[in-house]
């Protein structure tokens, strides 16, 4: 591992790839990136700077699907999280599994649970969900909260319509 300031190095290397840098504390850095540049940035972090890939987190927000890739610079004690927001309803981002071996399982997991498509994944088959699980139903999305057994899209639309008519309190 090379002892350099990861944020300054990233800013110098990808002047237009980084949208926002937030240094929350001396050991936590959140970097918003352009989703199209994710493979370039991850390759630079993992192969050139020697960061360790911890895991990816996916969460649903109003802006779209947010995918965070967490990297650790162990010798410096700095945890860098790359934040990429991809638009709904068809979230799609480049896969980093060809670069980082340890990312293969988590990308398949996010594919199952959130329905994010990872373009270029070497083995994009189901990982967590059963083989007979219906297509297009993603259990960790917010629309499924408190709605088990899950409802069809028509039923969901009915419920949304009822809520719209009732108005918010």
Partner 1 sequence: MKTTIPVGPYHPLIEEPELFRVVVEGERVVDIDWRTSFMHRGIEKIAESKTYDQIVFLVERICGICSTSHPIAFCRAVEDLTGTRIPDRAKYIRSIVAELERIHSHLLWLGLAGHYIGYHTIWMWSWKYRELVCDLFERISGNRQSYAMLKPGGVRQDIKPTEYKGIVAAMDELEPKINMFIGAVLDDPVILARLKGVGNLSREDAIKRCTVGPVARSAGVDIDVRRDYPYAAYDLVDWKVITHEGGDVLAMAVVRLLEILESVKIIRQCIDQIPEGPIIEEILEVLPGEGIGTEEAPRGECFHYIRSNGTNVPDRVKVRAPTYSNLPSFRSRFTGERVADIMIILASIDPCYCCTNRVVRIEDGKSIQTLDEKRMLEMSWERTRALEKSIPHASGRLLKL
Q: Residue numbers of the site for partner 1 (CB under 8 A)? A: 24-25, 27-28, 30, 50, 52-55, 57, 59, 68, 70, 72, 74-75, 77, 79, 81, 100-106, 127-129, 139-140, 145-146
Nearer to partner 1, 75 or 152 (CB): 75
- Residue 89 to residue 160: CA distance in whole angstroms: 17
- Residue 88 to residue 22: CA distance in whole angstroms: 25
Torsion of CA 167, 140, 45, 19, to 10 degrees: -10
Nearer to partner 1, 3 or 27 (CB): 27
- Residue 169 to residue 166: CA distance in whole angstroms: 9
Q: In angstroms, give the least distance from the CB of 146 to partner 1.
A: 7
Q: In angstroms, give the least distance from the CB of 7 to partner 1.
A: 16
Scored b (16 or more CB within 10 A) or e, 38-53 reads bbbbbebbbeebebeb
DSSP 78-129: EEEEEEEEE-SSS-EEE--TTT-GGGHHHHHHHHHHH--EEET-S----SSS
Nearer to partner 1, 13 or 141 (CB): 141
Nearer to partner 1, 124 or 139 (CB): 139
Q: Provide the pairing of β-strand 18-25 with 64-73.
A: unpaired
Nearer to partner 1, 14 or 105 (CB): 105
Q: In angstroms, give the least distance from the CB of 130 to partner 1.
A: 8
Q: In angstroms, give the least distance from the CB of 61 to partner 1.
A: 8
Q: In angstroms, give the least distance from the CB of 22 to partner 1.
A: 10
């Amino acid at each position: 591992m090379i002892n350099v300031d990861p944020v300054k190095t990233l800013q110098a290397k990808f002047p237009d790839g980084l949208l926002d840098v937030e240094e929350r504390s001396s050991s936590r850095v959140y970097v918003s990136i352009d989703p199209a540049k994710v493979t370039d940035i991850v390759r630079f972090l993992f192969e050139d700077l020697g960061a360790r890939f911890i895991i990816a987190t996916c969460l649903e927000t109003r802006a779209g699907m947010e995918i965070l890739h967490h990297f650790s610079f162990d010798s410096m004690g700095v945890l860098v999280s790359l934040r990429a927001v991809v638009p709904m309803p068809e979230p799609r981002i480049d896969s980093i599994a060809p670069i980082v071996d340890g990312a293969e399982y988590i990308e398949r997991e996010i594919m199952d649970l959130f329905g994010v498509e990872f373009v270029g994944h070497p083995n994009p088959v189901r990982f967590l969900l059963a083989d007979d699980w219906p297509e297009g139903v993603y259990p960790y999305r917010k629309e499924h909260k408190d709605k088990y057994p899950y409802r069809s899209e028509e039923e969901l639309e009915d419920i949304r319509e009822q809520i719209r008519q009732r108005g918010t309190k």
